[in-house]
Amino acid sequence: MKTRLLPLLVVAAVFVLCQWAVQPSVSLNATPTELTQADAELPTVVAQIDGHFEDLWKRHELTPAQPADELLLLRRLALSLMGTIPSLEEIRQFELDDQPERIERWTQRYLDDPRFADYFAERLARCFVGVDGGQFIVFRRDRFVSWLSDQLEANTPYDQIVRQLIASKGLWTGEPQTNFITAAVANQDLDENKLASRSVRAFLGQSMDCAQCHDHPFDANWKQHHFEGVAAQFGQVEQSGLGVYDKASKMYKVQDLAALEEAEDEPEEIPMREVTVAVPFGKEWVPAEGTTREKFAQWMTHPENRRFERAIANRVWGLMFGRAHITPVDDMPNPSEVVADQDVLDLLGNDFREHNYDLKRMITTIASLKPFRLKSVVEAGNDSTADVSYEEKIALLDESWGLFPMTRLRPEQIIGSMLQASSIQTIDQNSHLFTRFRRFTNERDFVNEYGDLGDQELVEQTGTIPQALLRMNSNMTRGAVESGFMSACGRIANLSTTNEEALEAAYFVCLTRKPAPEERSHFLERLGDHTDDRRNPIIEDIFWTLFNSPEFSWNH
């Protein structure tokens, strides 16, 4: 008898869970995330940066967009911090959270979620080691990303992370941070030039690639000898079966093309010359003790190195907004051209340094700013700069962050959102193993077909016809809109007591908002009075329509 009852109890339990997620109001004791003492100190830096933007808008006689509603902010936070939209389960909890500072606490909640650490680790890894698999024997990208995720989850200070990347020793499997070094191995040889270029790009936001062969044609701050001096910082690195280590007696050498040109007779071999380690600026920041790489790491992260803190502030800004504050993100201007403490990146950087290079605090600060909390649209009646056209006003507001910029979602955000929208419950590390495996394989295949942006994520994207067709007709799309027993579409179609409930739940699942009056009217007319199985294909059509709407694939 007990054996017969067990399946019935399981079905009953699933039904209760489904009803909780679909119904708009259910008693739920969701414990709000508590704000920390550091969060309580945020108003000062937030007010400083908001004041910067308010002064900017006032000088140009601009009226910024209206504040966005909190459900839209929840969607922005989920997309920027975890690469996916909120689940219906989270939306219902958010609705029931009626305590003050709801957005602030949900920002903290998402930052404490392992999905944040995993997602941001991948985003930063693309900058640190690229996306190529490299030589598997000496480079394990998966181990590197996992290590970086652990550091982010533990909120390890960012300067400490960077020092470990530059200076660590050991085997790339046991000390995964050393994969930053072995990512530059090709055919068993370490490419010091690649490490020099990537280090300066990733950690200082500067492009010095041109200086590898000649003085930079546009930036007088980067000469060829600067590049060589940075490359020489990695000149003592050796890698073998024992891992990465430093050989003090090893000297970094380059081809001596000047000597070759001066030679009267062509030599049998191109002459080589030794290069002394050097830094392009801030020589007084280099400590006296340590290995070459350890000294370089200390110089890179020195508290007076404005480039270091500005570079990560600009990159995090780009990951939050979909567009960096200064573009290109890896070719920023010399800080000497910017007045310190009067620039957004300096204000963020100063606070970052003063609070032990806390990345989560920087993210929380950006999420608290007025520009992050504005709508992406401005009404035609906006009274900004009356002597210019509406289109010119929008351009001015966009340039001055007077509205939230509209950018296309990255491929992994598209597939992450589609996968989450196919489920009522949150897909995370606690989900069933099958669900997580399905997400991994579907995301990998979809991104490969959709087109991976590689390490050039913070660039303006253009949509393509093949991408649109993939969203319309892919196996992932078909699976997401099928009204199966476990799918969001099927649960909503079968368990909603009214068509109004079903339509609202579908909009929450796909777009994190309620339908507008005209949308509600249109789709309720389509649904008619169907509340049985005849409703299922109509709900499937609604899901498909919302998946393929521009709103679904943009970050506004």
Token pair belonging to 249: 């007696």
* pLDDT of res. 124: 96
Q: Are strands 189-190 and 185-186 parallel, antiparallel or unpaired?
A: antiparallel
* pLDDT of res. 1: 45
Long-range contacts of 25-32 (CB under 8 A, 24+ apart): 25/95, 26/92, 26/96, 28/92, 28/93, 28/96, 30/93, 30/96, 30/97, 32/97, 32/99, 32/102, 32/105
* pLDDT of res. 143: 96
CA 287 to centroid of chain Cα atoms: 33
* pLDDT of res. 331: 86
Spatial contact of 157 and 283, defined as CB atoms under 8 Å apart:
no
- DSSP letter string over 394-441? HHHHHHTTSSPPP-BPPHHHHHHHHHHHT-SS--STTS-HHHHHHHHH
* pLDDT of res. 133: 80
Residue 449 burial (CB < 10 Å; 0-12/13-18/19+)?
middle
Q: Is 485 helix (H, G, I), strand (E, B) or coil?
A: coil
Q: Are strands 243-246 and 237-240 parallel, antiparallel or unpaired?
A: antiparallel
* pLDDT of res. 256: 65
* pLDDT of res. 224: 83
How far is Cα 178 from Cα 144, in angstroms, rounded to an integer?
Answer: 8
274, containing H or E segment:
strand 272-275
The model's pTM is 0.88
* pLDDT of res. 258: 59
How far is Cα 484 from Cα 491, in angstroms, rounded to an integer?
Answer: 8
- Digits of tens for pLDDT over the chain (556 positions)? 444 544 444 444 444 444 444 554 333 344 556 655 555 568 889 999 999 999 999 998 999 999 999 999 999 999 999 999 999 999 999 999 999 899 999 999 999 999 999 999 999 999 999 988 877 788 999 999 999 999 999 999 999 999 999 999 999 999 999 999 999 998 778 899 999 999 999 999 998 766 656 566 556 667 888 888 999 999 999 988 889 999 988 888 877 665 555 555 666 667 778 888 999 999 999 999 999 999 999 999 999 999 999 999 999 999 999 999 999 998 888 877 666 667 899 999 999 999 999 999 999 999 999 999 999 988 766 555 556 777 888 889 999 999 999 998 988 888 889 889 999 999 887 766 656 666 666 667 777 777 776 667 777 767 777 777 777 877 777 777 777 777 899 999 888 999 999 999 999 999 999 999 999 999 999 998 877 778 889 999 999 999 899 999 998 7
